[in-house]
Structure 1
Amino acid sequence: NWHPGVIGIVASRIVERYQKPAILIAIGDDGIGKGSGRSIEGINIYSALFECGELFQKFGGHELAAGISIKEENIDKLRAMFEKAVQKSDGDFVSKLKIDCLVNLADINDSVVSELGLLAPFGIGNHEPLLLAQSVDVVSQRSYKDKHLGLKLRQDGKFFDAIWFNLKEPVTLPHQIDVVFTPEFNTWNGKKEVRLRIMDVDW
């Protein structure tokens, strides 16, 4: 019962988590499904859907995003044909992050986060800024439900809270890491602070 207006956002979140192309379809009362697809670098979702073109009422898009209109009775056929089309592609299904800038955590403050926010809205063709900080100290770490990891990080005497969402498996980090993140505002108990939302780490 997804509303057609949100399926594109949800499809993007699924792709971010699983690093595979995804199509979400909302079926209307008339039996026609409106679908929104998203993909990853190296997997051309438009080309894959083109091979399934006989099933659609209409479709369009580009390499990383597409929209379709399809009869409910054809959805199972689409699933099978789309999977075959994607498997024939040359993509490796490996997550690739485009890092925008190497930074020191001492340079991150409220003003920087506010200015980065002016680049929104983020999505296909305009990804959230990804920053890299190297040789960052892990002061403390705490797992939440074995899915998320809360951290206290330090570099050159400056401390930040950080969160790493939706881990595929529990992880314990070493005392020092390189971290890719997006800085954001987090409000808790009426207090607004800069938090680092972690996208990946290395050590």
Structure 2
Amino acid sequence: MARPRQALLTRERIIEAASALVDEEGLEALSMRRLATELGVQGPSLYNHFGTKAEIVDAVADAVIEQVDLTGFGTYEWPEALSRWARSYHAILVAHPNIVPVLATGPGRRPAALAMAEAVFGALVDAGWPPARATHIGALMRYLVTGSALGSFALGFDIDPQLYDQYPHLHRAPLLAAHHEAVDEAAFELGLDLLIKGLSAQKALFAHEGEISR
């Protein structure tokens, strides 16, 4: 009988395997040798598609960003579009926390990340925000989303109740870990709500003063 042919090695297969490895074990587990083993190929074959590990990491990061929903831009007014995008972005990063440190450095040369930046910046400028302020808002949104996904605030406290004997206002801190998802999600939603309301108020004030067109 003929031997079964090995599945064709493609960029997509490499990115999928690398993404799974990063999700399961972290960035430190990713290497060309380990990835080749996971794919059942010889290491040199990976270099037909990617020149370095850094290129693979970039591809994994961009594959994550491709999952972010941008359809709100051009469909809703800027506050609703920004909120929908931020929630989608946040949910995707929470689902792939190990790649967040890479994404936090900025879009670099990644196509999906640049397309996302274009969508956000373009929507803000089209809504009447000056380019400089639109840049500030885009940066602020990224700080909120990536910062909230970098680590859990609620999991940052030890569960030993005796530790907090000298910190009376923190006596309930050991309880946070058991509810960390709800606490962290509520904190993100509070920050997003306040941010959008604050920006809306600022734009209304500037529009009234004639500094921003409606």
The higher radius of gyration belongs to 2
More strand by share: 1
Structure of greater relative contact order (alpha carbons < 8 Å, 6+ residues apart): 2
TM-score if structure 2 supplies the norm length?
0.25
More helix by share: 2
